Amino acid sequence: MNSEDYIQIDIYCQQTQTPMKFIDDLLEFEMIEVQQIENKMYVEPQFIVEIERIYRLREDLGINMEGIDTLNHMIKKVNRLEQELKQLRDRLTIYEH
pLDDT tens, residue by residue, 20-48: 999 999 999 999 999 998 899 999 999 99
Distance separating alpha carbons of residues 20 and 35, to the nearest angstrom:
16
What is the SS3 string spanning the chain?
CCHHHCEEHHHHHHHHCCCHHHHHHHHHCCCCCEEEECCEEEECHHHHHHHHHHHHHHHHHCCCHHHHHHHHHHHHHHHHHHHHHHHHHHHHHHHHC
Domains of the chain: 3-96 (1.10.1660.10)
pLDDT-derived band at 94, boundaries 50, 70, 90: confident
Mean pLDDT of 92-96: 84
- Could you tell me the pTM of the whole model? 0.76
Mean pLDDT of 81-89: 96
Mean pLDDT of 64-90: 95
